[in-house]
Structures are given as structure tokens and as C-alpha cells.
Structure 1
Amino acid sequence: MIEKPIHRRLVAILVADVVGYSRMMEADEVGTFQALKERRRHVLEPVVRAHGGRIVKLMGDGVLLEFPSAINAVEAALQLQLKMTEANVGIPASRQIILRIGINIGDVIGEGSDIYGEGVNIAARLETLAEPGGICMSEKVHNEVHGKISIKMKDLGLVQLKNIAAPVRTFGMMTARALPSTALSPSKEYTTVAVLPLANMSGNADQEYFADGVTEDIITELSRFKNLSVVARNTTFSYKGQSVNVAEVGRQLGADFVLEGSIRLADQHLRASVQLIDVQTGAHVFAEKFDREMADIFAIQDQIVEAIIGRLFFNLQEVAGVVRGRTSTTSISAYTSWLRAGAAWRNGDEKGAREHMHDAVRIDPTYAPALASLGLLYAYWRFSEPSAATDVELEDQCQDFAARAIAADKTDPFVLTSVAACFLLVGKIDDAIRYSGIAIAISPHDINVLVARGMIVAYAGRHEEGLALVERGCKFEPLLPPAFVSSLGDCYYLARRFDAALAAYGTLINPPYFFRLNQAACLAQLGRVEEAAVIARQKPDTFDAIVYARNTIRICALPEDGDLWMDGFQKAGMFVSRNVP
């Protein structure tokens, strides 16, 4: 008798299991089964396909997956945890489906559609070590993905796994589980910090942009820490130039701590003075001054952020070894142009913003934030104003800037979110979903990341899911900026909640005309056609309704969503053909 040859192959193995499955089945057997079935169809299967994997077998509340590489497996695990967390939004904690995931690389024996071997057994044991909502991987996997995927792993050391002879060095991490699944006050679950605008003490109004820019960078850097919830810039900057009671402002914002200070720039010398105040007691947690030459501005920012983190989380082991992921420019000239661009954009000077951003990239061609911002500005330009360039030329330009930004830095949530928004605006919804997903996994408490992700998900056709994310982001932000309001309005519109969309759009003050056109579409859908027609008749001569309609329809993943926008525009009195795309 001739024995069949044994077929072996090296693969990445992922094992996932539902936390508390037996308890859930006991409480609601039918409901739990149906919920799990839905998650498999709408979350598990698409994620596995997108990363080139294969479902080997389902095991009750668990699943065994096979991937061609460790990178594919880890990226799939991150995406799986993220999507599971998003799907849990609004669901009571007792009914949420939360996964543990174990990943290993091993030589397996294939028999039919199944696989066997010690590599599979190790992945299954690692799954039991993972935190709820987290991932546990072997050293083999860690070595393969280290430096290639932006993840922070905790070395768990050598672990003796059940029925495995030799100890296995193991690494664990939390993932999208850090994103709250219900609307919580940030001050209850997270330590909340409000950073008030640093006062410009230079005696020169032209240096205002510099103080504002440094403040924004501090906010951005603090937002990287999963243990912090940082009040967004748009809210704290409403107090700019005011004499305020810092503790009272902190209570108004729901903050535990408030950072205030000043910055003085003279010649090439910079002095920053900052104080961190405990809102509950009014006491100073710390007050320090930083004096440096201008070339050391980045070092000063690092010191301020590290000082705050050290004071707030001195009892956390991870803080001592934290390494901040700054990969932006070290050129002071490029950084200055970047700050000037931000100031121009906030003042409504889009042309000036583009010019300053181009200056930053000319000085430092690998300045990822500037490249990403240029991509988004060019994508936005297609909607907001006429251009000598064709629509195709603008699209090519913005995608080129986006590609260069990602090539320069794949780990910065700001870069990833800007690139994702850029891809949304040019109709590349799959790329938008991908990059916004990575951004929110890295920085789940960053308000801009959260709102952008929700907007993208909504335009992908997952209306309620996207709306829930945007609503969550807006609840963290007491004073909503125009971009948040328009995102909220769009998500309500796509969810067919026209009253709520109209209310959101109505809070915009002197918005660009295309925002008003969205408001007209809402009015028309509510039967208030005459009011909608008034807005339509106010169309500026320079506004191209055909181009705007085409671009709006194009970013909708579902044809019925594009039809919904078109229907609203037509009812409002815009002469737009349904054959626009």
C-alpha cells in the first residue's frame, strides 16, 4: 500500500474566540447565534478576503484562519478588532461581541480544507492569553512585522503554553478595544486634558501663527496617547485672547487638567512657559520654563509633552519607555511654512494655504503632514472653487501628494486621516476605508480621526455605523468646527434623517456655497421646495453645479446614495442631469 505524501506549507495562523460566549448563549441563545452569524458575514468574511486569507473552519464561537504572511495576518487582526469595536457601538456591554486573537507562524499539514500541526496549537494557546479585544502573537510573528506595521507590543516574556514542550516568547497588545463602545464622558473613563492657546508674548502680531502652531502640535502629540482624551483645538481656541479662570474653563470643558502658558520668540531664541493645572483643586501640577535656540523647537515640544505625561501617568509602567512617533520635518523653515499654511486655512485663505504648504514641501520634499494636507487641499479644491486645471488634473495631483505622504510616513494619524479624506473626495472609497481604519486603530481618541472615519464609513454605505462614529466624535467636542458640522449633516442625510441633517447644516455660519447646497437638498427632501429654491438661485456665477454634482455622486459607494443627492439637488431647482457621472 502506497502512502500518500504529506503536504506541508509555512503559513501564518490566526485563531479568534468570542469572550464570554457561554454566558451570552445562556442569556439569549437565539439572539447570540444570529448576532454572531451577522458578524461573520459582514465583518469576518470581508476582512479575511481583503487580506488574502482563508477561513479554514468555524468552531462554534471561534474561527481558524490561514494567511500567506505574518503581515497579512496581523493587519487582518487589527482590522477585525477595529470593525468589531465599531459594530459594538450602541450595543449593551452584556451583548457585545468581543474577540481574543492569537497569531503564530508555523509549518502545517494540509488535509482537505483543514490544517494541523504544532503551529496551529500554539496559535490556539496564544489566543487564550490575549486581552479581551486584543491580540497575542509569537516571537516569530513579532519579528516578521516589527518595523513594517505601526503597532506597539508588550513583551510578555517566555510563556509555557499548555501541551507545548518548549516555552514560547510572547507579545501582547490592545487594539481597537480602546475605542469606547458607548457614548461616555471622556473625564470618566479617560484622563481629559484641555490645552489653552499659548499666549504670544513676542510683542509682534506676525508671530501669532507660531504660538498657535506650537499649541496645535502639543494637542496633536498628546492625542497619540491612548490613556488621554484631549479636548480638540477648535474648542480650546475659542478662549484665545481672553482672561479666564483656568479651573472654571476646565470644568466647562469637562477636563481633569488644563495646560496654559505663553511663548516668546525673539531673533532665534525661544522661551516657552507652561503650567498644568488640576481642575478639581486649582493647584499647579507643575510649572516650568523652557529656553532654547530656535533650532531646538522640536526638543521643547517634546519636553512639554513628556512633562505632562510624566506628571499625569507617573504610575504607569509604559510611560517611562514611551517613544513618540514624530517623523515630521526637522527643518525649521519647512515647519514655519507649515504653521503659516494652517493659519491661512483657518482664515479662509485657501490659496495662501496651498502656497505655504508648497513652500514647506519645496524645502522638505518628505514632509509627510504637508504632503498629506496638499493632497486634501487639492481634492477639496475640486468641490469649492473654479480652477484653471481640469478635474482630472486636480485628481492626479491630489493622489500624487497622498501617495508621497504615505511613502514618507505610514504611522502618523494626521497623515493617514488626511490621505483617507483625500481618497474619499476623489471616489477611492476602498483606500479611504483602509487608511482611516489604520489611523483610528493608532489613535482612537483623536477627534479628527474619529469624525473622518465616520464620514468615510457613511459614504461607503454603512450609514448608521458611520453616523454613530461622527456623533461620538462630536460629543467629545463642545464647540463644533464647520468640518465636523458638515460631516454630521452629510451622515444624517445619508441615513435619511433629513430633519437632523438640516439642523446640523443650519449651525454653519457663512459656509461655502456647496455646504449651503447640501442644506437646500435637505429642505427639498422635507418638502420645503421654495426655501430650497431660494438657496439654489443664490448660486455664484463661478460655481459649477455640474462638477459639484458629479463629484458628490462619485464619492457615494452605493448608487442609491448618489441618487439621493441628485434627487435633492433637482428638487431644489438645480438643473442637473442624472447622467452627470
Structure 2
Amino acid sequence: MIEKSIRRRLVAILVADVVGYSRMMEADEAGTFETLKERRRRVLDPVLRAHGGRIVKLMGDGVLVEFASAIGAVEAALELQRKMTEANADIPEPRQIVLRIGINIGDVIGEGSDIYGEGVNIAARLETLAEPGGICISEKVHNEVRGKIAITMKDLGLVQLKNIAAPVRTFGMETSRALPSATLARDKGFTTVAVLPLTNMSGNAEQDYFADGITEDIITELSRFKNLSVVARNTTFSYKGQSVNVAEVGRHLGADFVLEGSVRLAGQRMRASVQLIDTQTGAHVFAEKFDREMTDIFAVQDEIVEAIIGRLFFNLQDIAGIVRGRTSTTSISAYTSWLRAGAAWRNGDEQGAREHMHEAVRIDPTYAPALASLALIYAYWRFSEPSAATDAELEVQCQHFAARAIAADKTDPFVLTSVAACFLMVGKIDDAMRYSDIAIAMSPHDINVLVARGMIVAYAGRHEEGLALVERGCKFEPLLPPAFVSSLGDCYYLARRFDAALAAYGTLINPPYFFRWNQAACLAHLGRAEEAAAIARQKPDTFDNTVYARNSVRMCALPEDGELWFDGFSKAGVYAANVAPSDTVKG
């Protein structure tokens, strides 16, 4: 037998893909096809030829390109993104052609005109991590172009790419318009920051929601920076009202720096003071005071965040304003209602949360975070407390608010993640995946985004991948909120690890009753029928097991996963007779 020799070569590989291609084709198939064809002729082909690139193959909405050098590949990517931006200038946003680009250096196997190998696979995975209009490169490419091309790249750290054994260190550029004249970012890796609850110094306990809300906004804004890993709110808020050694708390949480401070409301003025503490030395990195009229609350928030970033990463000072988006409302009244809604939700007052959130939207109809939260609240309502509205009416409401939230702001990871979770709970897994894809690409180290992503991926049928994401998010949090516990339990259940799911559901004290329902399903699969039946007998009259069972099955993309819930509930004696595995949503 004659063995055919395998020919290998070392090349730079560029993979580009059109953002939102499926949505654009659905809206205008013929128009999108013609626009894409025109862009290839006028932009793609000339740019690639000019930089020595060879198109290996076109892949529907994407392209695979081979270069002899990393510099040629990166220069081509920069020019490609710049010219795409110029070509989009006079086109309505929904019809704009926006690319993500990934670049890697690797050994490839040539077969005919095609190329194969792990180097190609890594480039394809990097493309999915790039921002819309941006570029993501591997460390190999970064080392080749460093000091030779004037671009700003951010170190995203070691990333575990799908189907790639070893983590790959990656670097990303936010957008094709991001400071082309700046030098490469310094190689600093990730820094972890914990933001302790700001103390309410107003002497009025009813103003706690205000200090808590400002704290949450700081956490959210810091989470937008991919160089930072920010400890989640639920963990840091466990220290609220306690007198603690800040440096020791920071070390316990694995944080490099801790932010602490206070807020005082006096008439129409807000005074805030914050200190950033180095947990290794206990020294104050900086201390600042802010005194503003209530109308300047957003300016105070901006100044606090930029002060922290400026002292953590000097190289981010110039681009801080570009990377971080502003809060999406300028109405103080709407913002106050938003804060009150959050406080009510954490206290278990779902009705109060809905009322305050509706008030925020009434004041500012384009307040995207409030609209997204309403979408999620209405989706969650279908699983929790009884409602005068039908299940179908609640679903219509949650989809209505989700559509408004995305129309108002589709660049906020919080909005995208909330909408994605909403779509998961109404059984629209494709929409959930689509918005989750964008959110995780924009904010891959936001633990809330990470856990929601894992939950969605698991219900899409990729059980182990989803479980790994949720476990990754949860392992950094000493105090898990109910949503994290629910996600962890569901992922264990879908992965057929019923013992672990049972343990996860049982970690909360006085949880919502549906946690007990899920425990019954776990017990049934473990053959502990009597214990499962005991839970079934405890069902409160206000809990509609038929609706809950149907909605649980509908969330599953795979029929076998719907049947898993069906079988668990049936064996436990808690499943309604008129619900069947056929209620599972396909795709």
C-alpha cells in the first residue's frame, strides 16, 4: 500500500463572517444577497489582493483567506473593516454589512485549493469572539505584529475554544474605528475587582435602594472592560452592613483590588466618596470625593469608573470613553424607579418590581434595561406566582418588551442577556442563542452573562458545554443567587447527573416552590419514589403544575430532553395529564 505524503505549510489564516446574516436574509433575502455580492467585488477582493491574501473558499456569509505573513493578514483585516465602515455610512443600520474577523498562525494541510488543520479551526473560533466590526487574534499573531502595526489590542487572556484542547491566549480590537494610531496594549492579563456595597449615609433606611443601585451600576460598568474580572453583586452584597477588613475580604474573594465607599443624599445633592484598596498591601490606591446635583448622577458614576480604570490600566485611559457605554436613560425619575424595582425584586416582591419597572418605562419608553427586565419578569411570571393573565398573554407581553428593549439598545450585554433568557423561557431557543452569542462576545467575563449563556447552551442540547460554562461562573461565587442555583441544577439535570442536580436545588433556604418540583423529578429518576411523592403532596394550591410542566418541556430544543423532564415529573406524580413530550420545541 502506497501512503500519500501529507504536504504542510505555515501560514496566517483569516476568517471573516457577516454579523446577523440569518436575520438579514430573513428580512430581505434578495437585497442582502446583492449587497453582499457587491461588497465582495468592490471591497473584499481588492483589499485581499492588495495584501497578498488568497481566498481559500467562500462560506455563505463568510470567507477563509490564506496569507504568507501575519502582518499582511492584520493589515488586510484593518483595511477591510475600515472600508466596510465607510461603505455602511449611508445605509440604514439593519441593512449594514458588518464583519467579525479572526486571525491565527498555524501549520495547515493543503489539499487541492483547500486547507485544513487546527490552525484553521482556531482562526474560526477566534472570529466568533471578535466584536461586531472588530478583530480577534491569537498570541502568535500578536507577537508577530507587535511594534510593527499601530493598533490598540486588548489582552483577553487564556480562552478555552470549542474543540481545541489547550486554551489559546487571545487579543481583541473593539471596533474598526478604535484609535488606529495607538500602540499595542501592554500585556497585563486580567485584574479582579470587588465592589463592596456603598454605605447609605443619609440616615434614612428607605434610601438604601439608591446606594445599592449606584453600586450595581459601578459593577455593571466595570464588567464592560474585558481586561477586568469583576466579582458578582450577589457575593459582594453579602458583606452589606458589616464592619470588615477590606483587604482581607478582597483576598478572600480572590480580588486584586476592592472598591468601597459611601453615598449621602441631602436635598437635591448627592455626595459620594470611594476608595480603591490594593488587597496585597492594604494601601489605598486612590480616594476620591464627588459632590453633584441630583441631575448629575450619571456624571458621578462616569467619574468613579474612569478614576478606577485610569489607576488600574494606564493604557486604557484614552479608550475608556469608547469601550464603556453610558446608562441608557437620562431621566432621574426613570432611573429611580429602576432602582426601586431592583430592590423589590431582591426582596421577593415580584408585584412591586413589576410596578416600579412599568413606571420607569412610562417615564422613559426607550429605557432599554427596564424594558429587558420587564421581558424577563413576564417570562419568569409564567413559572412562579399565579396570574390573572393566561400563560399565552404573559408570553405575548414578554416578547413585546423584549422587542422594544432590543430596538432601544442592542449593544448592552445586560439587555442582550435578559432578552436571551426571556426567549429561552418561552421556548424560542434560536432567538435565545442569537442574543446570547452577542452578549458573551461583548462581555465574556461577566459572570451573569456566562451563567445565562451556559443555561441556554444546555437547553439547546449541548449539555456538557453548557454545564461547564455555568460551573465556571459559579465556582468564583461563594454566595450563589437563586438564578445561578437554578441554572446549575437544570444543567446537571439535562446532563443526567441527577445526584448533583438534587444537591444544587437543595442549597437554598426557603426557595421558590418550583425548586422542590425539580427536586421531585431528580428523586424519581434516582428511584426514590416515596420522597418524590412526598414533595408532590406538599404542592400549594396557588402553584399550577400543568403550566410549570408544559413550560419546562417547551424550553428544550431536543425531544429527548423534553421527555426527560416529562418522565421525571410523571414518575414523581407531579405531571399534568394533558402535557406531553410533544410540547418540546424543536430547534
Which TM-score tier does this pair reach, normalised by the shorter chain?
Answer: 0.7 to 0.9
Determine whether 1:223 maps to 2:166.
Answer: no
Aligned-residue offset at 1:480: 1.0
Match of 2:296 in 1: 296
The correspondence of residues 535-550 of structure 1 with structure 2, limited to 5 A, is 535-550=535-550
Match of 2:44 in 1: 105
CA displacement, residues 66-98 of structure 1 (integer Å, 9 cap, x when unaligned): 976569999xxxxxxxxxxxxxxxxxxxxxxxx
What fraction of aligned residue pairs are identical, expressed as a percent?
A: 73
Match of 2:124 in 1: none
Match of 1:573 in 2: 573
> Which amino acid counterpart does residue 141 of structure 1 have in structure 2?
M
Aligned-residue offset at 1:267: 1.2
- Secondary structure of the residue aligned to 1:384 is coil
Aligned-residue offset at 1:123: 5.6
Aligned-residue offset at 1:400: 0.3
Aligned-residue offset at 1:548: 0.8
TM-score (normalised: structure 2): 0.74
Match of 2:450 in 1: 450
- Secondary structure of the residue aligned to 1:215 is helix
Match of 1:383 in 2: 383
The correspondence of residues 141-152 of structure 1 with structure 2, limited to 5 A, is 141-144=84-87, 151=132
CA displacement, residues 291-347 of structure 1 (integer Å, 9 cap, x when unaligned): 000000000000000000000001447546644212511000000000000000000
> Which amino acid counterpart does residue 232 of structure 1 have in structure 2?
A
Match of 2:335 in 1: 335
Match of 2:358 in 1: 358
Q: Is the 8 A contact 2:224 2:323 kept in 1?
A: no
Distance 1:144 1:317, change over 3 A: farther
C-alpha separation between the residues in 1 aligned to 2:202 and 2:277? 24
Aligned-residue offset at 1:418: 0.3
C-alpha separation between the residues in 1 aligned to 2:579 and 2:230? 45
- Secondary structure of the residue aligned to 1:398 is helix
Q: Is the 8 A contact 1:135 1:175 kept in 2?
A: no
Distance 1:258 1:155, change over 3 A: closer
Match of 1:509 in 2: 509
CA displacement, residues 175-195 of structure 1 (integer Å, 9 cap, x when unaligned): 9887555899xxx95100000
Q: Any gaps of 5 or more consecutive residues in structure 1?
A: 1-20, 25-39, 54-65, 75-102, 157-168
Q: Is the 8 A contact 2:225 2:324 kept in 1?
A: no
Match of 2:438 in 1: 438
TM-score (normalised: structure 1): 0.75
User: Larger relative contact order (C-alpha < 8 A, sep ≥ 6)?
Assistant: 1
C-alpha separation between the residues in 2 aligned to 1:296 and 1:170? 37
C-alpha separation between the residues in 2 aligned to 1:566 and 1:499? 18
Determine whether 1:348 maps to 2:348.
Answer: yes
Match of 1:554 in 2: 554
Q: Is the 8 A contact 1:327 1:409 kept in 2?
A: no
Aligned-residue offset at 1:385: 1.6
Match of 1:266 in 2: 266
The correspondence of residues 154-303 of structure 1 with structure 2, limited to 5 A, is 179-180=159-160, 189-303=189-303
Match of 1:496 in 2: 496
Distance 1:121 1:450, change over 3 A: closer
Q: Is the 8 A contact 1:458 1:494 kept in 2?
A: yes
CA displacement, residues 105-132 of structure 1 (integer Å, 9 cap, x when unaligned): 3479xxxx9989xxx9996449944999
- Secondary structure of the residue aligned to 2:314 is coil
CA displacement, residues 207-265 of structure 1 (integer Å, 9 cap, x when unaligned): 00000000000000000001000000000000000000000000000000000000000
C-alpha separation between the residues in 1 aligned to 2:217 and 2:158? 23
Q: Is the 8 A contact 2:417 2:436 kept in 1?
A: yes
C-alpha separation between the residues in 1 aligned to 2:10 and 2:539? 59
- Secondary structure of the residue aligned to 2:330 is coil
Aligned-residue offset at 1:380: 0.4
C-alpha separation between the residues in 1 aligned to 2:155 and 2:576? 45
C-alpha separation between the residues in 1 aligned to 2:38 and 2:453? 22
The correspondence of residues 48-59 of structure 1 with structure 2, limited to 5 A, is none
Number of equivalenced pairs: 481
Match of 2:116 in 1: none
Q: Is the 8 A contact 1:130 1:136 kept in 2?
A: no
CA displacement, residues 32-78 of structure 1 (integer Å, 9 cap, x when unaligned): xxxxxxxx9xxx9xx9878869xxxxxxxxxxxx976569999xxxx
